Amino acid sequence: MRLDKYLSNMGLGSRKEVKPLLKSGAVEVNGKTEKDPKRHVEAETDRITVNGEEILYTEFIYLMLHKPPGTVSATEDSRDRTVVDLLGPAERHFNPFPVGRLDKDTEGLLLLTNDGKLAHELLSPRKHVDKTYFARIDGEVTAEDAEAFREGVILDDGYKTKPATLRILSAGPESEIELTITEGKFHQVKRMFRSVGKEVVYLKRLSMGTLRLDPSLGPGEYRPLTEQELKGLKQEK
Ligand code: URA
């Protein structure tokens, strides 16, 4: 493909916008400065750099986002800020979308990708990908609640949840817990606690399958998945 198309496809701007970049001498092909936008390059074998940094040709993007509260897990919304609005133009260029949903007031781990196949597999109810949440609960969470969650509780629509693991970190008038569930019903964690007469007052997703929220990412920050993290996700049972 043409060099300007390569650079444009990798999010460096429109073909028109990459022209001055080429003209400035910032782009090298296999170690040699290349200014011709029409130069033919092979995505598989040629090494393209911009200001010394290698630009690998990839079709897919995989981002770990620490979703902040107050954003919606969607690509577009007429009222609220979406998780995609948090990304820079280079990432948005790939049209990523969130894999599954966190409520507007929930924060924590959210995977964003344009790999529809992987997203579909991770969300498939047949896969039972574990999701672990940290929550603060208004009320004293008890061993009986843990037992009820292990057995499965009946939600407000009559659905019986699959066995879930509740770890009580601290119990009191306000309790702190970690809950691991293997499904993703609408508002599931909040509804599970409601079924035992308690309210979730703060909710954060810590992990999804083998993928754990990087503690160095603050709310609203994101980074690409490492090779290892991606491999782990692709191998989810
Ligand atoms: N369960 C909830 O209730 N809300 C979320 O955002 C995720 C799981």
- How far apart CA 130 and CA 115 sit, in angstroms, is 20
CATH number of 3-54: 3.10.290.10
Nearest one of 112, 136, 78 to 221, comparing CA atoms: 112
With respect to CATH, is domain 62-125+211-236 assigned 3.30.300.30? no
Give the pLDDT score at 127.
Answer: 87
CA of residue 31 to ligand 1 center, whole Å: 50
pLDDT in tens, 61-101: 999 999 999 999 999 999 999 999 999 988 998 999 999 99
Residues 6+ apart with CB under 8 A from 221: 65, 66
153 CA from centroid of ligand 1 (Å): 16
Confidence of residue 224 (pLDDT cuts 50, 70, 90): very high
Rounded distance, CA 153 to CA 131, Å? 17
Of all atoms in ligand 1, which is nearest to the CA of residue 103?
6
User: Residues 29-41: what's their mean pLDDT?
Assistant: 97
pLDDT digits (tens, 9 = 90+) for 160-218: 999 999 999 999 999 999 999 999 999 999 999 999 999 999 999 999 999 999 999 99
> What is the distance in A from the centroid of ligand 1 to the CA of 106?
7
In the chain, pLDDT over 90 holds for what percent of residues?
91
* Residue bearing the CA closest to ligand 1, atom 4: 187
CATH of domain 131-208: 3.30.70.1560
Got the DSSP string for the chain? -BHHHHHHHTTS--HHHHHHHHHTT-EEETTEE---TT-B--TTT--EEETTEE----S--EEEEEEPTT-BSSS--SSSPBSGGGS-HHHHTT--EESS---TT-EEEEEEES-HHHHHHHH-TTT---EEEEEEEEB---HHHHHHHHH--B-TTSPBPPP-EEEEEE-SSEEEEEEEES---TTHHHHHHHHTT-EEEEEEEEEETTEE--TTPPTT-EEEPPHHHHHHHHT--
The residues that are catalytic are: 103
Name residues whose C-beta falls within 8 Å of residue 233's C-beta, 6 or more positions apart in sequence. 62, 111, 118, 122, 209, 210, 211, 225
Q: Do domains 3-54 and 131-208 have the same CATH topology?
A: no
Residue 236 is predicted with a pLDDT of 82
Task: For ligand 1, say whether the CB of 189 is within 6 Å of any of its atoms.
Answer: yes
- Token digits for 124? 């498939």
Across 2-21, average pLDDT: 93
Residues 94-151: pLDDT tens digits?
999 999 999 999 999 999 999 999 999 999 888 889 999 999 999 999 999 999 999 9
Q: Does the beta carbon of 188 sit less than 6 angstroms from any atom of ligand 1?
A: yes
Domain ranges for the chain? 3-54, 62-125+211-236, 131-208
Q: Which of 67, 129, 189 to mutate to test the pocket of ligand 1 (most atoms within 8 A of CB)?
A: 189
- The whole-number pLDDT of residue 19 equals 96
pTM confidence score: 0.88
Q: Is the pLDDT of residue 237 over 70?
A: no
Task: Report the distance separating Cα 175 and Cα 136, nearest Å.
Answer: 6
Place 45 in a pLDDT band, splitting at 50, 70 and 90: very high
Note the pLDDT of residue 71.
Answer: 98
Q: What spacing in Å lies between the alpha carbon of 187 and ligand 1's midpoint?
A: 4
Mutate to test the pocket of ligand 1, among 99, 104, 133 (most ligand atoms within 8 A of CB): 133
The sheet that has 27-29: what strands, in order across it? 32-33, 27-29, 48-50, 53-54
Find out whether the beta carbon of 203 lies less than 6 Å from any atom of ligand 1: yes
Higher-pLDDT residue of 11 and 204 is 204
Whether residue 8 has its Cβ less than 6 Å from ligand 1? no
